[in-house]
Amino acid sequence: MSDNTSNASPSRSKAQLAAIVIAVVVAIAGIALWVFQSTAGFVNTNMRNLDSWGLYIINFMWFVGLSAGGLIISSAPKVFGARGFGPISKVAIWASICCTVLAMGFIVVDLGGPLRIWHLIAYANLSSPLMWDVVVLTAYLIVSIVYLWATLRVESGKGSPKALRVLSALALVCAVMVHTVTAWIFGLLQAHELWHTALLGPWFVSSALVSGLALVLVIVIALRKAGYLALEQESIVKMAKFLGIFTAVDLYFFGCDLLTSGFPGGEGATIVAMLTTGPLAAFFWTEAIIGIVTLLVAFVPGLRSMPLIVAASVLSILAILCKRVQLLVGGFQIPNIDYATVTTGPGLTDAGSGLASVAPALVYVPSPLEFGVVVGVLGLGVLLLLLGLRLLPLKEMMTNACMPDSESVWPLPVRAGRGPTFRESAVRTGGDGANRPEDGVQ
């Protein structure tokens, strides 16, 4: 039994088990819906020839960003010799692994013939960005797993901090590349004007930093509140400030792209109108407003309270989802060729006729089946996350002498081979794993 479960109260252990059981049930239901989709055909979805990608690819992009951002937060401090975030690193790496598995899962459910997935290897087209992404994503998952293993070995005094730093550099490169290559899948398609921009790669990386850091913040604050993670308030405030910086950079890229496209005489005025006043306006302004709110919470000391940090983090994750919806649906919204009147989406099937009435101007609205499959995949991800956090040693497990200087966070000597007990952690954190004051450091 891990130190996490041994320190947990009976009520918390029951809550953990209940959450795991619920995640299992949801995942099984999602698998059943996916089997129905694979056997009955994609006619039961609202994806058609004119909008061949849909909710599954939106979530693929979203979770690739969530995974890459978390690993960058963990690896970058080690690479540059900066002070890291202590036990947050392990949580960030495991969250990245779970999100990577989910991203791969959404690729699988998007395949019409999943049993032929081996064709990706047998008939690989190395000139295709899709194949680049398969290679980079697979390598990224392997590096993430090895990186977590190496981090735990170094903490236990069995590994080399120098080797971990080299591995951190490799993980950082993979994290940047996996999102850059994902952006190239869209950005190198010249036929879709919204996608064909050189800014798409950096834009994907910046949004990954926003969503990935926001996800890690939500997880570690929840673990800290429950008493499973001893964490200084200063670290949370530092992460909140970084979230503000990454959000500002992401909004900057967004603004540059819009100005270039929509400037008088520019060829992208139709795209800007579609985003700001057209069928995708709700997603555009939701993202923009959330970005401004996040900046205020991150940089105004009086607003930097724990509840507002959590709220801003959750909203930031949703804002990046809105960005992914704009990107994918917007790419299909404006036709790239002249064609005769074509019946698409719910017009061909009753699968999504109810949902289509909510946004009739959109070329694509997911069917209930697609939402069900997505919820099932998310259930699988939550199950992986809960199992990992249940087994992952969240307490530091080594002495300062064994740690790189940038990761030295425990001032009192601890016997090699064990981490500080929950009581020893509480000496620094106020008795329940949480620093005081609860409202944050100004």
Give all domains of the chain, ordered by start, each with its CATH number. Answer: 12-335+351-394 (1.20.1630.10)
Cβ neighbours of residue 258 closer than 8 Å, sequence gap 6 or more: 272, 275, 276
Is residue 387 exposed (0-12), middle (13-18) or buried (19+ Cβ within 10 Å)? Answer: middle
Phi, psi of 231 (to 5 degrees): -145, 130
Q: What is the pLDDT of residue 339?
A: 53
Residue 146 and residue 380: Cα distance in Å, rounded?
Answer: 22
Q: How far is CA 154 from the centre of its chain?
A: 26
Tens-digit pLDDT profile for residues 303-334: 988 999 999 999 999 999 999 999 998 888 87
Retrieve residue 134's tokens: 């398969």
| pLDDT at residue 32 greater than cutoff 90 | yes
pLDDT, mean of residues 209-236: 84
Cβ neighbours of residue 66 closer than 8 Å, sequence gap 6 or more: 95, 96, 99, 208, 211, 212, 215, 317
Q: What is the pLDDT of residue 412?
A: 31
Residue 13 and residue 20: Cα distance in Å, rounded?
Answer: 11
Q: What's the N-to-C CA distance of the chain in angstroms?
A: 39
- Cβ atoms of 46 and 321 closer than 8 Å: no
Tens-digit pLDDT profile for residues 265-308: 666 788 888 888 888 999 999 999 999 999 999 999 989 889 99
Phi, psi of 434 (to 5 degrees): -130, 130
pLDDT, mean of residues 255-273: 78
Coil vs helix vs strand at 194: coil
> What global pTM score does this model have?
0.80
Residue identified by tokens 């507002």 is 308
| pLDDT at residue 358 greater than cutoff 60 | no
Residue 58 and residue 377: Cα distance in Å, rounded?
Answer: 13
| pLDDT at residue 1 greater than cutoff 60 | no
Q: What is the pLDDT of residue 233?
A: 80
Residue 29 and residue 17: Cα distance in Å, rounded?
Answer: 18
Q: How far is CA 286 from the centre of its chain?
A: 18
Is residue 91 exposed (0-12), middle (13-18) or buried (19+ Cβ within 10 Å)? Answer: buried
pLDDT, mean of residues 412-441: 40
Find, among 428, 433, 70, the residue nearest to 242 by Cα. Answer: 70
Retrieve residue 239's tokens: 């992460």
Tens-digit pLDDT profile for residues 82-139: 665 666 788 888 989 999 999 999 999 998 777 788 887 888 888 888 888 889 999 9
pLDDT band per the 50, 70, 90 thresholds, residue 11: low
Q: What is the pLDDT of residue 375?
A: 95
Residue 229 and residue 428: Cα distance in Å, rounded?
Answer: 12
Coil vs helix vs strand at 218: helix
Coil vs helix vs strand at 195: coil
